Amino acid sequence: MNKFDLNIDKSEVLRYLGYKYQLIDENLSKMIDKGIKEIKELSRPRYIIDYFEISKENAIIKLEGDLLYLEGKDIYKHLINSSKVVLLAATLGIEVDRRISYYQKTDLTYSLILDACATQAIEEVCNILENDIRSKLKKENKGLTYRFSPGYGDLSIDIQSRFINILDATKKIGLTATSDNILIPRKSVTAIMGVVESNISNEKIGCIGCSKYNDCNFRRVGEGCGH
Amino acid sequence: MIVISGEWVKAVDIREYMKENIVVFDGAMGTMLQRKGLKSGVLPEVLNIEDKDTIIDIHRLYIKAGAKVITTNTFGANRLKLFDCKYTLEEIIKAAISNAKQAIEGKEIYVALDIGPLGQLLEPMGTLKFEEAYSYFKEVVDLGVKYGADLILIETMTDLGEARAAVLAAKENSNLPVFCTMSFEQNGRTFSGCDAVSMTLTLQGLGVDALGINCSLGPQEVKPIVEEILRYSKVPVMVQPNAGLPKVINGETVYNISKNVFCQSLVELCNKGVGIVGGCCGTDETFIEKLSKEVCNIKPIKREIKRVSAVCSYSKTVLIDGVRVVGERINPTGKKLLKEALRNKNLDYILKEAINQIEAGADILDINVGLLEIDEKNVMVNVIKEIQAISNIPLQIDSTNKDVVEVALRFYNGKAILNSVNGEDKVLETLLPLVKKYGAAVIGLTLDERGIPSSAEERIKIAEKIINRAKEYGIDKEDIFIDCLTLTVSTSQEQTLETLKAIKYIREKYGVNTVLGVSNISFGLPRRDLINRTFLAMALTSGLTLPIINPLDKDIMDTINSFKVLNGEDLNANNYIKTYINAIDSNKTPNKVLEGDNSKYDLHEIIIKGLKDEAQNATKELLKNKQEYEVINDYIVPALDWVGNKFEKGEIFLPQLIQSAETVKKSFEVIKSKLLECGKGSELKGKIVLATVKGDIHDIGKNIVKAILENYGYEVIDLGKDVPKEKVLEAVLKHDVKLVGLSALMTTTVKSMEETIAYIRQKREDCVFFVGGAVLNKDYAKMINADFYAKDAMEAVSIAKKVLG
């Protein structure tokens, strides 16, 4: 899995930290560089990708063999043009969590920075994987919708455990969910992407179309989540 | 086979069979099921009932291939994984064992009850409690016993804590043989970081009948890991690898080696001492057939086992084959601040003590939380849990209270040291069984009901008694460390040489490691440091291997580092040179001005710039001429206001705010300890309870709010994350708190926030709540009946000012 030569874009890290072009002194800047370096060393990106046929019945999306039901109008819209989906699970591994916990006790500022670096790292891992899938599908004249995770919009986060079981992700990459559906290791992602014909436009929903419009943390500070 | 009360039982216990034969387990169940068309994601355990013929067929194929043990189709059969299954756990396990027995048809084949991971991670990395995990495993074990499994196989574990819970459940609730294997990656570690040696030490300590590795890698890749296990394991070693490394071809997972290569590699491992073999993912009956043919002529090899003194955590082993430093600072005796921290459950303070010692070079930490007025049992478990959440340093449990010892050894993830037993019969009878059960190492003090003997000879006698008694309980010599006890030289001068004499004798005669608390020696004398380090050097020369000391004492650490060069332990003085080479450099240039010299700033500027390291000295300087309140009012408060104001205007951003907050905290630490010294309590503005609500573990935001509130002089009672509402209420009532801050990051856990507020209001109508977290806003806060919504930490401060003044 050496394809994860992560960059950990500093400007994205700053965005997670709520940065809005304030003056940054050298100390802080160095601290962020150190965080980026440390997360690169600590991360052990692992992932699973699997393809499933889907069918739609009464506005519910079903994975083949009734493995999983996806309910909600947002996911329905997301997969409206798809008859096949990609399930993705990816994680940076538990050492990242341990180090962030460590610094929470010794250096709160740095732990905050490390957390932001790790968030960016798992995003980059997912971007790399998504691009891989995308370019593979392109050869078949197919496209891909963006990554839609359990808990987005009105798709219940309760499917998390089932999702993990379907991919056998605990055994294969060490990914677990708590009984409240929080992924552990913390810097992990599960997501659903729809396979579409390449002529179908694949636009991001943007803020207006998002059902979290009213309570989005990014939007509150004048940003977007990138979707 | 013989018949006892109408049941067929095996003529030979597998533990006996293992002595004479290499045991062949079956291959993969999942691979066979996929071959038979099972789709991924379907619960395979259901097939025990819905398609039992297929399962029986698979078992039969393996038996025909020569497997001596078949594994029930119960890998995921536990209450957590079967949460949405239409059958009960009992129905599944009953059917699974019955299927295996049907396949056996009276042959001399063993049925292993298969137990896999629960699918949730244990505390501290996850939220599942150790005892919860234990009870899930217990349920499976009970059913396995009820329906007649011959042995228990715990496998594919990646978290040592979970493996421990499963093994304890198996050992405490059955008499069946227990085998346990974990899965490793190519770097020699499991997903949760466990290494082969730590696994080996811990599991064999718990008394498993076999241990080893399964899944994850092919037989060639596991070789170095297995070899390491073979070096240390006192019990038979088991290997069930995959058929090589997985590759996805056309959406199908395939494995990259043939049965020939597979068998050849396993035969090699058997020749090195592996006693139990089988297959995992990608293997089928053809692999097992070949394997059983190849190994049936091999007899189990008598291995040369490295008998080492060692302790470990979940991911780190410390071999005690030389001098190892035990940090003594987590012990309330004579420490005002630590006592206060223990009483207030201020775990952060204790963690800092831990971290400081680790960074100063401690190899092991002694943990003593014995204070009359606290619940020692509870605090001990919490301290262990918190330290293990942030560090993998092995711990030494310092208590003689049986209940505390039992719960600490049970909870500790790894192989601990118990400090201590002594020569008293009653103590030995009470504590040694616990040491044995949990596989710990133990310190034996050379004293008994008559007190500390005055001669070396008497101490040696007691040491001998402890070693012999431990042996009766099955505790090996390498797990016993003898403490010959330091007496104060100013009052018992003749005793010093007796102590050293005893160390020397015991070390030479019994070859056990020796422990000594060192600093006691100098009590009552001036320049204690001189006596301490000289005595330490003498003791080390006499054969002391585990000095219990303060690693922050540079003199002491210097003595140890140089001793290790002189006694040949630090080969080529590598570590010594690494440690001191820079010290030489800085001696050469004593006048060099450090880049970015910050000593010119005053405290106000230091806070604004967030120069944490400067805060303590600057505060100390100021306190020479000023009162504590003057420093607070003239320096800290204006700086805080300045920073807070800038943050609210968006002129600085979050990390900068926190940096200043942490700087203020450092400054307050100095002020607080000065106040304590003068017997004055610190004046706090009011108490606030903070918690991340049940179900949520996103606590960075809460920690930020805590740091800022503390800056402004509020006493924060931090209940941590995933906090049940009952706990919040308990704290509110106990500390008589009027203001409560709750955080939650997820839509789903806001519900838990609402419940917490309602629950507490029932008992304390006047309690005021402020809430925060990503998904909240003003309207949402109102909806769940919170009084305030705090969009950030600064707003939490203005809420606190409003409510508490």
pLDDT at A127: 96
* Residue entry with tokens 């003056």: A23
Q: Which residues fall within 8 angstroms of residue A21, CB to CB, at 6 or more apart?
A: none
Q: Determine which of A15, A36, A137, A182 to mutate to test the interface with B (most B C-beta atoms within 10 Å).
A: A182
Distance, in Å, from the CA atom of A51 to the CA atom of A86, rounded to the nearest integer, reads 5
pLDDT of residue B585: 52
Of the candidates A51, A112, A220, the beta carbon closest to that of B658 is on A112
Mutate to test the interface with A, among B43, B186, B191 (most CBs of A within 10 A): B191
The answer to whether A102 and A71 are in contact (CB under 8 A) is no
| Interface touch B775/A94, C-beta < 8 Å | no
Q: Is B654's CB within 8 Å of A171's CB? A: no
- Residue A2: exposure state from Cβ atoms within 10 A (0-12, 13-18, ≥19): exposed
Q: Taken in order B312, B317, B323, B325, is the CA torsion positive or negative?
A: negative
> How far away is chain B from the Cα of A105, in angstroms, using its nearest Cα?
7
| CB-CB under 8 Å, B156 with A51 | no
B contacts of A171 (beta carbons < 8 Å): 116-117, 156, 183, 215
Chain A residues within an 8 Å CB radius of B157: none
Neighbours of B142 (CB within 10 A): 15
Q: Could you give the CA distance from residue B201 to residue B199 in angstroms, rounded to a whole number?
A: 6
Q: Say whether residue A107 is in contact with chain B using an 8 A CB cutoff.
A: yes
**CB–CB of A102 and B749 under 8 A?**
no
Name residues whose C-beta falls within 8 Å of residue B710's C-beta, 6 or more positions apart in sequence: B665, B668, B716
**Long-range CB contacts for residues B370-375, cutoff 8 Å, separation at least 24:** B370/B332, B370/B398, B370/B399, B370/B401, B370/B404, B371/B332, B371/B339, B371/B342, B371/B343, B373/B343, B374/B342, B374/B343
Tell me what pLDDT residue B83 has.
84
3-state secondary structure of B781: helix
Secondary structure element (H or E) that encloses residue B127, with its range: none
Which residue of A20, A95, A182 is in closest CB contact with B697? Answer: A182
Write out residues 10-49 of A within 8 Å (CB-CB) of B.
17-20, 22, 25, 27-28, 31
Cα(A7)–Cα(A5) distance, integer angstroms = 7
Report chain A residues whose CB lies below 8 A from the CB of B746: 151, 157, 180, 182
Nearest Cα residue in chain A from B315? A95
Contact A64 B39 (CB under 8 A): yes
Nearest-CA distance A203 → chain B (Å): 25
Q: Is A165 in CB contact (< 8 Å) with chain B?
A: yes
C-alpha–C-alpha distance, residues B482 and B54, integer Å: 58
| Chain A residue with Cα closest to B127 | A178
Q: Closest approach of chain B CAs to the CA of A64, in angstroms? A: 9
Residue B487's pLDDT is what?
Answer: 94
Interface test with B, best of A14, A15, A103, A108 (most B CBs within 10 A): A108
State the distance between the two ends of chain A, measured CA to CA, in whole angstroms: 27
B249: left (phi over 0), alpha (psi -120 to 50) or beta: beta
Query: Nearest CB to B121: which of A17, A68, A176?
Result: A176
Q: Measured between alpha carbons, how far is residue A40 from residues A44, A117, B54 in Å?
A: 9, 9, 47
Task: Answer whether B144's CB lies under 8 Å from B154's CB.
Answer: no
Q: Are strands B23-24 and B310-312 parallel, antiparallel or unpaired?
A: unpaired
pLDDT of A128: 96
Between CA B441 and CA B144 the distance in angstroms is 32
Beta bridge partners of B143: none
Dist CA B786 CA B758 (whole Å) = 9
Mutation target for B interface from A178, A211, A212, A214: give the one with most B CBs within 10 A: A178
Taking 50 as the pLDDT cut, the residues of chain B under it are 1-6, 586-597
Q: Is the pLDDT of residue A208 over 80?
A: no
Distance (Å, whole) CA B234 – CA B229: 9
- Residue at token pair 């992602």: A189
Output the pLDDT for position B553: 94
- A-B C-beta contacts closer than 8 Å: 157
Q: Do A22 and B652 touch (CB under 8 A)?
A: yes
What pLDDT score does B588 carry? 46
ipTM computed for the complex: 0.89
Strands A46-57 and A60-63: antiparallel
Task: Mutation target for A interface from B181, B390, B708: give the one with most A CBs within 10 A.
Answer: B390
> Residue A109 and residue B662: Cβ atoms within 8 Å?
yes
CA distance B643 to chain A (A): 13
Q: Is B302 strand, coil or helix? A: coil
List of chain B residues whose C-beta atoms are within 8 Å of the C-beta of residue A182: 127, 696-698, 746
Inter-chain contact A51–B251, Cβ cutoff 8 Å? yes
> Is the separation of the CB atoms in B253 and B246 below 8 Å?
yes
Which percentage of chain A shows pLDDT scores above 70?
A: 86
pLDDT for A213 beyond 60: no
Q: Structurally, what CATH architecture does the domain formed by A13-220 represent?
A: 3-Layer(aba) Sandwich (3.40)
What digits encode the pLDDT tens for the residues B479-521? 999 999 999 999 999 999 999 999 999 999 999 999 999 998 9
Helical H runs in B119-183? 130-146, 160-173
Contact B389 A101 (CB under 8 A): yes
Higher pLDDT, B310 or A218: B310
Structural domains of chain B in order of their starting residue, each with its CATH number: 2-295 (3.20.20.330), 316-553 (3.20.20.20), 603-677 (1.10.1240.10), 687-804 (3.40.50.280)
C-alpha to C-alpha distance for B113 and B150, rounded to whole angstroms: 8
CB contact under 8 A, A109 and B659: yes
C-beta of residue B225 within 8 angstroms of C-beta of residue B264: no
On the question of pLDDT at A220 being above 90, the answer is: no
B252-255 and B441-445 strand pairing = unpaired
